[in-house]
Amino acid sequence: MPPRYTPLVDSLPATVPFIGPETLERERGAGFDARLGANESVFGPSPKVLEAMRAADAEIWKYGDSTSYDLRHALAEHHRVAPENILVGEGIDGLLGYVVRLVVAPGDRVVTSSGAYPTFNYHVNGHGGVLDFLAYRDDREDLPALVARATDTGAKLVYLANPDNPMGGYWSGAEIAAALDDLGDGTLMVLDEAYAETAPEDAALPLPVTDERVIRMRTFSKAYGLAGARIGYALGAAPLIRAFEKIRNHFGMNRSAQAGALAALADPQHLAWVIDSVARSRDEIARIAAGNGLTPLPSATNFVAVDLGGDGDLARAMVTELGARGVFVRMPFVAPQDRCIRISCGTEADMRVLDEALPPALAAAREKVAG
């Protein structure tokens, strides 16, 4: 007899939110020359981070500190909050799973944007929540509409990424703070700030961390260059952060990753270099796109969404054609944003590969769509 799965699990499809580049490389039988699809930091972590992780590896036989004490205190100092306002977890993906598990029971409503980060939806579905999708407006998540829908329906959670993935735009922190004043009682905003380090200063939320209406999530996967270490953190009111102790995986944090994140915080010079490198790469992606008659969208992240001037069929063909030429990119999933492809920032060598591959890929994609 097979295991007796729950009715909920039986109802769900076996799926993953993203197909990894390694899977695509195995399918094509070759590696990518430019890995520009997963919004990783190809600029890498600080050398001090690698040194700290190598030193920690000598004690990898030990479990990691279940409280992430040193890292939580360093993060608290970094953000000028109390350690009780910090939760460390297995990347934002893991933290999203925890917050959904914490508040969403089967049948509970959750509001998000159609085409926004799909891993959040994956967690909501996995806990039996009911997703309420709203369309993007002007290529960004419709903040006023999200708050209004969550308030009108009594949703448990409302999700907002700021800056946004996959389009790259952002709302100012002042606009988000004003919108929270209209949020109904008992609704928690999950503010995904994965790209906070590359965003303009006015994107920061000007509210105290003790505000119980919002939980902010950050990561070391982007600007700090530690995507493979899977380490993120949340900032929130102390009672909310304490509640995670009821359900989180207390020994889920990798010991070496904790050491690496601590070293990353202590090297602001490297972070500044990465942010500058990202800005230069965004400009280069925009130049390449415009040079081929395409429209780059303004970006506050470590990627650029490029409008191909067509529809989802053209974008899918473009992703395939670039992949065949050794360039890994992704695209938004939902119309009308799926008229774009999303290109992560890269090194000068990556940009040269992109510059060479894009014109023939675009021609082939247009020919394929034309039939």
The reply to whether 161 and 30 lie within a common domain is no
Q: Tell me the two tokens of residue 301.
A: 């992240």
Q: Let me know: does 31 contact 325? Beta carbons within 8 Å.
A: no
The reply to whether 169 and 257 lie within a common domain is yes
Total domains, the chain: 2
> Among 330, 315, 304, which residue's Cα sits nearest to residue 37?
330
Q: Let me know: does 340 contact 309? Beta carbons within 8 Å.
A: no
Residue 6 in domain: no
- Alpha-carbon distance 162 to 203, whole Å? 7
The reply to whether 122 and 185 lie within a common domain is yes
The reply to whether 253 and 276 lie within a common domain is no
Residue 9 in domain: no
Picking from 215, 246, 266, the residue at the C-terminal end of a domain is 266
Q: Tell me the two tokens of residue 179.
A: 């919108």
* Sequence-distant (≥ 6) Cβ neighbours of residue 268 within 8 angstroms: none
Picking from 240, 266, 292, the residue at the C-terminal end of a domain is 266
Ordered per-residue pLDDT tens for the chain, 371 residues: 889 999 999 999 988 888 899 999 999 999 999 999 999 999 999 999 999 999 999 999 999 999 999 999 999 999 999 999 999 999 999 999 999 999 999 999 999 999 999 999 999 999 999 999 999 999 999 999 999 999 999 999 999 999 999 999 999 999 999 999 999 999 999 999 999 999 999 999 999 999 999 999 999 999 999 999 999 999 999 999 999 999 999 999 999 999 999 999 999 999 999 999 999 999 999 999 999 999 999 999 999 999 999 999 999 999 999 999 999 999 999 999 999 999 999 999 999 999 999 999 999 999 999 98
Q: Let me know: does 65 contact 258? Beta carbons within 8 Å.
A: yes
- Alpha-carbon distance 325 to 329, whole Å? 11
* 64 three-class SS: coil
Residue 114 in domain: yes
- Output the pTM of the full model: 0.96
Terminal-residue alpha carbon distance, the chain: 50
CATH number at residue 85: 3.40.640.10
- Alpha-carbon distance 211 to 57, whole Å? 38
The reply to whether 208 and 313 lie within a common domain is no
DSSP H/E element including 131:
strand 130-134
Residue-range definition of the domain harbouring residue 28? 18-44+269-370
Three-state SS string over 264-312 comes to HHCCHHHHHHHHHHHHHHHHHHHHHHHHCCCEECCCCCCEEEEECCCCH
Residue 274 in domain: yes
Residue 181 in domain: yes
**DSSP assignment of 148-161, as one string?**
HHHHHHT-SEEEEE
